[in-house]
Structure 1
Amino acid sequence: MSVFADTPRWPRHGTMWGHLISDDSLEELHETAARAGLHPRSFDLDHYDWPQEARERLAAAGVAFVGNRDLTRILIASGLRIPLADRPAARRARTQAHAEELGLSRVPQDLITGLRGHVDPLPSREDAPLGAYRLGRPNPCALADIEAHDELGRLAAQEFLAEADALSQGRTGHSWVGQVLDWPGDGEGSHAG
């Protein structure tokens, strides 16, 4: 049982990023990522994205560094890999489960309750449906960060937040924490509970 990292080679947010995986379990992966100080939001279904600045922390946490091809082979052999073609369905299943757990009246496009993982980015103004929004709250006491291109999106985000907060308060005693990407629509996300 080991955790492995490849060489950062994907540019984003002003740095280079690599992948961190386990050859055994997601629990082992989460524990190692936490020991190395990686943010829980950097988890993406079967791996963590890590910035090149975290290399020493990963090494101190016992991570083995391997080449990019070796990392892919290890992840495939572990049985934890979610192939690119299956990632939309995996995100959808995660969203459905989180929406049902919360008790939402409608399943959003992409949803995470809690701190682990991230939803897709808000599409560009040109590509976003009318009313699209992305919302995140890192803790129950924080103000929600709302991204929207239009007033309909800001209103839809506020409506989602009011429902999610009320449901979370009833179940946990605190405001909702997580991220959501959604837009008013044709009910394509179907209904939960």
Structure 2
Amino acid sequence: MTLFADTPRWDNHGTVWGHLISDVSLEELHAGALRAGLSPRAFDLDHYDWPVDLRGRLEGAGVRMVGNRELTRILIRSGLRVPQGRRARARAERSAADAARLGLAPVPRDFIWGPRGHADPLPVLPGAFRISQDDPSRLRIQAHDGPGEAAAAALLARVDALARAAGHPFWQGQAMDAPRPS
């Protein structure tokens, strides 16, 4: 049971990112990511994204560095890979399951209830928004316009009320949504 990481080469958020995977299970992956100090929000269906400046921490946690193609081969052999053509459907299934656990309908385009995983980036669409909240003092709302801000505030009020009704002190998660074309 080993965790593997590839060479960071994806630019985003002012740094370069790589991928961390397990060849055995998601449970092993989550435990290893925690040991290496990665945020649970860095999880993306079958891997964790990690910034280049954490390489030493990963190596210190016993992660084996491999090339990008080898990492893909290991992930495919593990049976954990979510292929690119299935990722949108996997996100939709995750969103539906998390929304159902919370009692939320309709289901936003991308929805996470809990501390692990991240929603899709904010699309450039009128009325689009993205919400992230890991504790009430760390609420982040992104929107391009007033309708997006209003929709974000309305969804946040709904999910927070549903989480409180389920016995939680607040809603923890991420959501991204935008009006659907008519």
TM range (shorter): over 0.9
In structure 2, distance between residues paired with 1:172 and 1:185: 32
Cα offset, 1:37, TM superposition: 0.5
> Residue 130 of structure 2 aligns to a residue in which SS?
strand
Alignment of 1:101-112 (within 5 A): 101-112=101-112
Counterpart in the other structure of 1:85: 85
In structure 2, distance between residues paired with 1:97 and 1:118: 15
In structure 2, distance between residues paired with 1:105 and 1:91: 16
Q: Deviations over 1:18-70 (max 9, x none)?
A: 11000000000000001100111111100011111111111111111111111
Alignment TM-score, normalising by the size of structure 2: 0.95
Question: Is the CA contact (8 Å cut-off) linking 1:156 and 1:184 kept in structure 2?
Answer: no
Question: Residues 169 and 186 from structure 1, CA distance in 2 versus in 1: closer, same or farther, beyond 3 angstroms?
Answer: farther
Tell me, yes or no, if structure 1 residue 147 matches structure 2 residue 150.
no
> Residue 88 of structure 1 aligns to a residue in which SS?
helix
Tell me, yes or no, if structure 1 residue 30 matches structure 2 residue 30.
yes
Alignment of 1:26-65 (within 5 A): 26-65=26-65
Counterpart in the other structure of 1:190: none
Cα offset, 1:143, TM superposition: 5.1
Q: Which one of the candidate residues 154, 158, 172 is aligned to 2:153?
A: 158
Percent identical residues: 56
Question: Residues 143 and 55 from structure 1, CA distance in 2 versus in 1: closer, same or farther, beyond 3 angstroms?
Answer: closer
Alignment TM-score, normalising by the size of structure 1: 0.90
Code of the residue aligned with 1:93 in structure 2: it is E
Q: Which one of the candidate residues 174, 177, 181 is aligned to 1:182?
A: 177
> Residue 38 of structure 1 aligns to a residue in which SS?
coil
Q: Deviations over 1:84-120 (max 9, x none)?
A: 0000000000000000001012111100111211111
Q: Which one of the candidate residues 135, 139, 142 is aligned to 2:131?
A: 135
In structure 1, distance between residues paired with 2:12 and 2:99: 30
Question: Residues 42 and 169 from structure 1, CA distance in 2 versus in 1: closer, same or farther, beyond 3 angstroms?
Answer: same
In structure 2, distance between residues paired with 1:185 and 1:79: 34
Code of the residue aligned with 2:134 in structure 1: it is P
Where do 4+ consecutive residues of structure 1 move more than 6 Å?
none
Q: Deviations over 1:102-158 (max 9, x none)?
A: 10121111001112111111112xxx1x3211111111x325211111211111111
Code of the residue aligned with 2:167 in structure 1: it is T
In structure 2, distance between residues paired with 1:156 and 1:14: 29
Code of the residue aligned with 2:82 in structure 1: it is I
Report the aligned-residue RMSD: 1.4
Structure 1 unaligned spans of 5+: 188-193
Structure 2 unaligned spans of 5+: none
In structure 2, distance between residues paired with 1:8 and 1:54: 10
